[in-house]
């Protein structure tokens, strides 16, 4: 009985996932699966639906850009003024975590459908390669994000628990296709991610621009995967490849802060596209941070905010921690992404990285990868490997610091990780950067006396698999502690 209940629910979810808005206004947002699989136009439209998963509020449209900073020590709730959204995440309450398990019935299954279908429709090989390469690249990203949440880092397996996530590489289109897979090991998932990204690299060029998975995007993601995997020579090699072909502007000086106000960040290698047809644009991301009134856009300043006692954008839940603020050196232009004012009777540091310049549609695209991060990846990978692929670790560290208006400091892992924390603040990397290194996750002193989350002993390092899936799939092993 459980099996058929699961199948029924699965097929409902599968049907709903095809109705999500896509990145394009043409073809139409939703199409019948049968139509999608019979011609190259339909397959291409289905691929757009795969992309649409990225901007969901449970993924990079909100949760994956905010929770990694909330759950670590980059941002915290404003005392007495928080709306209580994600308050349990900020203190890492039992069961409060990020969740991506729904990608199995949406993004992954959709990508599998595209991969299977593209070989069976008429069209030029060049067009088919573009579709196939993008589907492989997206599937790789989905699986990598899943294994980061539900499995330990492959370099730091705890107590022999090496369970990753199930690898489902064929689509579920009918009742006969439904499977109840066991979890693959972390290493197996990483190898599949590598295989998919290498396939994407070989199939793609860079003609599509930064709103799609391209050869450079595949190389950039692979450089980060290798960094997490501890394959540092490969990480430096692929970061170097991506830097060489990125075509992105390395923004310097005061323009750094304003670059985040642009609809397309000039440093972006890969953007999550926000369209005018998307309800509320990317407000679901912006509304979490205490920030200026939307009406003032990029012209906002402290006076403009303080003359209006409350922000006009969302709830204004979170503000940077004292520990993060203390890292910024004098004259660091990146400090311009944070400014100080008052919210009612409380002095607050406001995040300006996601400040809206249009108080109506919130149409700024969300950068998923920026060229600055590639320099930091290459610096760290080269330093750990003792290599100088493309550049020395010192020169890459200098590039980041000098761009920020700072002077050179001797290169070290601590120096690189400090720059990484500042550079990627409020972009959803802090939790994952700590966990990939097998480090305990500290909590801000602003929260009171909350102990760090110990990597080797605290079950909350891993996300819980939904109980609904554990109940219907006897082959799934739950994560320890849940």
Q: Do domains 1-59+100-204 and 208-273+366-428 have the same CATH topology?
A: yes
> pLDDT tens digit string along 69-110?
999 999 988 765 555 556 677 877 877 899 999 999 899 999
**pLDDT for the residue numbered 166:** 98
Count other C-beta atoms under 10 Å from residue 406's C-beta.
18
Fold category of 208-273+366-428 in CATH: 1.25.40
> 315 Cβ partners below 8 Å, 6+ apart?
82, 83, 85, 287, 288
**pLDDT for the residue numbered 162:** 99
What's the predicted TM-score (pTM) here?
0.88
Contact at 8 Å (CB) between 35 and 28? no
> Encoding tokens for residue 383?
């330093």
Measure the CA–CA gap between 446 and 444, rounded to whole angstroms. 5
Low-confidence ranges of the chain (pLDDT < 50): 1-30, 279-282, 292-314, 360
**pLDDT for the residue numbered 28:** 37
> 380 Cβ partners below 8 Å, 6+ apart?
227, 232, 235, 393, 413, 416, 417, 420
Contact at 8 Å (CB) between 183 and 165? yes
**pLDDT for the residue numbered 303:** 40
**Of 240, 232, 288, nearest to 85 (Cα)?**
288
**Of 117, 136, 148, 143, nearest to 39 (Cα)?**
117
Task: Summarize the chain as % helix, strand, coil (round to 5).
Answer: 45, 5, 45
Bond preceding residue 320 cis, omega within 30 of 0: no
**pLDDT for the residue numbered 30:** 46
- Residue spans of the domains in the chain: they are 1-59+100-204, 208-273+366-428, 277-326+337-365
**pLDDT for the residue numbered 312:** 40
Q: Is 34 helix (H, G, I), strand (E, B) or coil?
A: helix
**pLDDT for the residue numbered 222:** 99
Q: Which CATH architecture has domain 1-59+100-204?
A: Alpha Horseshoe (1.25)
Contact at 8 Å (CB) between 300 and 340? no
Measure the CA–CA gap between 452 and 282, rounded to whole angstroms. 32
DSSP 95-111: T-----GGGGTTHHHHH
């939307």: which residue's tokens? Answer: 294
């Amino acid at each position: 009985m459980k099996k058929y209940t699961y199948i029924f629910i699965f097929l409902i979810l599968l049907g709903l996932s095809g109705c999500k808005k896509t990145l394009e206004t043409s073809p139409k947002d939703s199409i019948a699966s049968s139509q999608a699989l019979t011609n190259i136009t339909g397959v291409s439209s289905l691929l757009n639906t795969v992309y649409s998963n990225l901007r969901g509020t449970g993924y990079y449209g909100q949760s994956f850009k905010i929770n990694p900073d909330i759950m670590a020590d980059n941002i915290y709730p404003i005392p007495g003024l928080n709306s209580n959204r994600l308050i349990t995440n900020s203190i890492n309450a039992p069961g409060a975590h990020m969740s991506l398990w729904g990608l199995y019935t949406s993004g992954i299954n959709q990508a599998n459908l595209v991969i299977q279908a593209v070989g069976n429709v008429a069209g030029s090989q060049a067009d088919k390669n573009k579709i196939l390469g993008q589907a492989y690249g997206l599937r790789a990203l989905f699986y990598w994000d899943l294994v980061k949440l539900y499995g330990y880092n492959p370099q730091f397996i705890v107590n022999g628990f090496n369970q990753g996530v199930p690898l489902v590489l064929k689509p579920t289109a009918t009742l006969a296709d439904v499977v109840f897979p066991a979890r693959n090991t972390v290493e197996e998932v990483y190898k599949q991610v590598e295989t998919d990204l290498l396939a994407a690299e070989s199939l793609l060029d860079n003609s599509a621009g930064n709103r799609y998975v391209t050869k450079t995007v595949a190389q950039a993601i692979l450089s980060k995967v290798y960094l997490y995997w501890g394959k540092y020579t490969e990480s430096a090699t692929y970061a170097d490849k991506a830097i060489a072909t990125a075509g992105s502007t390395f923004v310097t000086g005061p323009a750094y802060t304003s670059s985040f106000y642009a609809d397309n960040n000039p440093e972006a290698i890969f953007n999550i596209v926000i369209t005018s047809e998307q309800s509320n644009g990317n407000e679901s991301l912006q509304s979490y941070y205490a920030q200026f009134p939307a009406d003032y856009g990029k012209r906002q300043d402290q006076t403009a905010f303080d003359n209006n006692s409350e922000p006009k954008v969302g709830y204004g839940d979170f503000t940077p921690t004292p520990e993060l603020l203390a890292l910024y050196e004098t004259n660091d232009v990146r400090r311009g992404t944070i400014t100080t004012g008052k919210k009612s009777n409380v002095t607050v540091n406001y995040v300006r990285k996601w400040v809206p310049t249009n108080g109506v549609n919130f149409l700024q695209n969300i950068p998923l990868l920026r060229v600055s991060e590639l320099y930091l990846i290459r610096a760290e990978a080269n330093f750990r490997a003792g290599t100088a692929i493309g550049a020395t670790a010192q020169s890459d560290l200098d590039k980041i610091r000098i761009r920020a208006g700072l002077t050179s400091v001797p290169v070290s892992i601590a120096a690189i990780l400090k720059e990484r924390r500042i550079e990627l603040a409020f972009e959803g990397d802090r939790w994952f950067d700590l966990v990939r290194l097998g480090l305990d996750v500290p909590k801000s002193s602003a929260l009171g006396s909350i102990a760090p989350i110990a990597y080797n002993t605290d079950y909350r390092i891993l996300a819980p698999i939904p109980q609904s899936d554990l109940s219907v799939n006897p082959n799934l092993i739950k994560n320890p502690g849940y």
